[in-house]
Amino acid sequence: MTMQLNFENLAPLLNEQFVLQTDADRRFDVELVEVKQLPDSNRVQYSWQKDTYTDTRVSRSFALVFRVPRELGIAQKTYEISHPIQGMLGPIFLVPIAEDKEGVYYEAIFT
C-alpha cells in the first residue's frame, strides 16, 4: 500500500526511521529529520498587477529532509522509501543538501 504524500500525513512521522532501497535491492535505515510546508508557487504575479491579490488556499507544497548514514554514499536520484508501519511512500527523488558528522542530508520537494 502506498501512503498518500502530503504534509498532514508526514509531519507526525518526524524523527522516525524509514527504509531506503537502492537499485541493488539493498535496504538502509534513514531518519526523517524535517517536514516543512513551502509556499505555493503556482500563481504568477505580473508587474502590471496590483499587489492586492490575496490567496487563502492552504499550501500543498512541502519538503522532506532525510538523514542518511555517511557510509551509504548514495547519489542524487530516485529511491524507493517506505515506513515500517505506514507503508510505501513511493519512488522519491532525493537531492543532497548538507552533511555533518551525523550523516548526509537529502531533500525531496513536493509541489
Ranges of each domain in the chain = 16-39+58-77+85-111
pLDDT at 42 over 60: no
Q: What is the mean pLDDT of residues 36-54?
A: 64
Is pTM, for the whole model, over 0.85? no
pLDDT tens sequence across 21-37: 988 788 999 999 999 99
- Mean pLDDT estimate for the chain: 86
N- to C-terminal Cα distance for the chain? 22
pLDDT at 12 over 80: yes
The residue with cell 505506514 is 86
CA distances, 70 to each of 16, 23, 30, 44, 108 (Å) = 18, 18, 11, 40, 18
R_g of the chain computed on alpha carbons: 16
Task: Quote the pLDDT of residue 39.
Answer: 82
Distance CA 23, CA 21 (A): 7
Question: Phi then psi for 50, rounded to 5 degrees?
Answer: -75, 150
Task: Quote the pLDDT of residue 62.
Answer: 95
The secondary structure of the chain in percent helix, strand, coil, rounded to multiples of 5, reads: 10, 50, 40
